Chain A
């Protein structure tokens, strides 16, 4: 009898804990609000109207670290605001923002390229917060410094299979690719190759830039592509048509393989979301967090590019 009672109590307790755990996500913003209000009055005196509410952002994992870091400092300055940043990939971010499940959808590509429903894409408002440039990289032993666009196309379409055909060592080329749906791959294909490529037999696909870097560094004859922030001495950065993939060359519009990092809102953002996105474009963030994490400030770009890929000087 006694045993049974305690057993039922335990069950009930478990269910209560489980239920309260479920509810926690929604409550978090309000509890944070209550706890931090005194601090808010101290730090918020400068910017006038006090912001409150919660912002949920999801999407691109390439952009996630930046959004998280900026959200951190934004929350420190505005104690009434709670920002949660989730990953999931560009596709997830765009889907969720167009279905209003999140406030901000982070994406590596233009919404028009990803969402098949053009009307849905048109509802979304684009906020370009940073630029990511992508460089072709190879294993250091390949013995090549620079590749032309045509050579890259031939390599990634399987026409050239040995480094000696592009002036390097006599070694088979091993392609380390990103999956067909990857934003990084889409950027590399549209702006470096100018064409979509089919997966080559024997090529390797990895879903994170960290693994791609590891594989290129270790695998003899490997070629792949990485965002500038990932480059280091373990891989050889290749010049593209003789242009060095450097931040300055990207800003000046000399190096073409780059893409915007987008933060989409569904329609015009509300006050809090707008303040957050505006904060993203302040000099403090653009020359601070953005540069620190290896992105290129969108505000610094001397050229701009539209959905169709047309580049115009700013």
Chain B
């Protein structure tokens, strides 16, 4: 009797294990199927124009004229590709020093109340929806730029500013984690050798954590590159390579959101938008690869 009950208990155990295992495998399989089919879908749509000879791939990537509704349409996406890179790099340039300083402040300068105060504020920033950023940008940053600088306020500068605020939390939290995980003895030996706090931070802490901080910067850039709504509201969306920071320009994401609903599936214009989506996706892969490479260099 006792043996039997022990047996059944074991069986139950096995069944549970099996059910859990099947459920897990199902979930993982589903995830893989979803990802693979999405990549396939975007890729197949994205190369449609090149396969059926509607647009040459060089014309798409390097062409500077975007006039899809013209009598002789041209589908040059270079203004959008360059626009995306421009706002992303500018945003990273603005946000990185701020984020790194905030992270240093939280972990090195005033680890007590500094962290208690800054951490929730920065986490709050990452929870604000992008449409709110866009609207604040349109209502505050754009009029400010219009009144103080040449141009109409709308343009690359406004887009980069809005994006830089959006990616602040990403970079800050990754950098703060990296700094916090730095072994205490590194700092202590530096102080013991008579180095000041500034010398310790600039010669020991920052160089050691550099790859980890760069991971944060790259993650922030990935977010900036893919952000659509907020940028689209303030950048102006003219399909040209801007000659100044205060001139209307476009990004890949903004032209996709502007055009996707108004074009019909299967039209060359719609397929050109999918090609841009493919470019975006490939860029995301590049960002992921970069993060991987940085992580490998990370020696903490």
Contacts and interface: CB of A to CB of B under 8 A. Distances in A.
Interface string A110-128: 0000111000000000000
A15 B265 CA distance: 33
Contacts of A11: 23
Interface residues of A, number: 43
Given A180-B67, A181-B68, A116 B266 contact: yes
Contacts, number: 109
A205 B262 contact: no
A206 B237 contact: yes
Interface of A: 1, 4-5, 8, 11-12, 15, 61, 87-92, 94-95, 99, 114-116, 174, 179-183, 186, 196, 198-207, 211, 214-215, 218-219
Nearest to A98: B264
B146 interface: yes
Contacts of A183: 262
A87 B261 contact: yes
Q: Which of A88, A196, A203, A207 has the most CB of B within 10 A?
A: A207
A312 B119 CA distance: 68
Contact of A204 (B71, B236, B264): B236
B261 A89 contact: yes
Given A204-B238, A205-B237, A207-B258, 6 more contacts: A4-B20, A91-B270, A95-B264, A116-B264, A204-B154, A218-B146
A200 B260 CA distance: 21
B165 to A, nearest CB: 20
Interface in B253-291: 255, 257-267, 269-270
Nearest to B270: A91
Interface in B139-158: 143, 146, 152-154
B262 A218 contact: no
B269 A201 contact: no
A181 B23 contact: no
A116 B267 contact: yes
A61 B237 contact: no
Nearest to A109: B262
Contacts of A116: 264, 266-267
Contact of B237 (A196, A204, A219): A204
Contacts of B55: none
Contact of B69 (A180, A201, A205, A219): A180
B240 A91 contact: no
B233 interface: yes
Nearest to B260: A89
B300 interface: no
19 contacts: A8-B20, A89-B260, A89-B262, A91-B261, A92-B261, A92-B264, A95-B265, A99-B265, A115-B264, A179-B255, A180-B259, A181-B258, A199-B66, A199-B67, A202-B248, A204-B154, A204-B238, A204-B248, A205-B237
Contacts of B13: 1
A8 B238 contact: no
A163 to B, nearest CB: 15
Nearest to B24: A11
B138 interface: yes
A94 B239 CA distance: 26
B295 interface: no
B16 A5 contact: yes
A221 B153 CA distance: 13
B23 A182 contact: no
Given A180-B259, A214-B138, A201 B264 contact: no
Contact of A94 (B20, B152, B238, B264): B264
A44 to B, nearest CB: 36
B238 A205 contact: yes
B232 interface: yes
A180 B272 CA distance: 14
Given A8-B20, A218-B143, A179 B237 contact: yes
Contacts of B266: 95, 116
A201 B20 CA distance: 59
Nearest 9 pairs of A and B residues by beta carbon: A89-B261, A181-B262, A205-B237, A179-B258, A204-B236, A95-B265, A91-B264, A89-B262, A91-B263
B238 A179 contact: no
A86 B240 CA distance: 32
Contacts of A94: 264
Contact of B238 (A200, A211, A214, A219): A200
A61 B70 CA distance: 24
Contacts of A99: 265
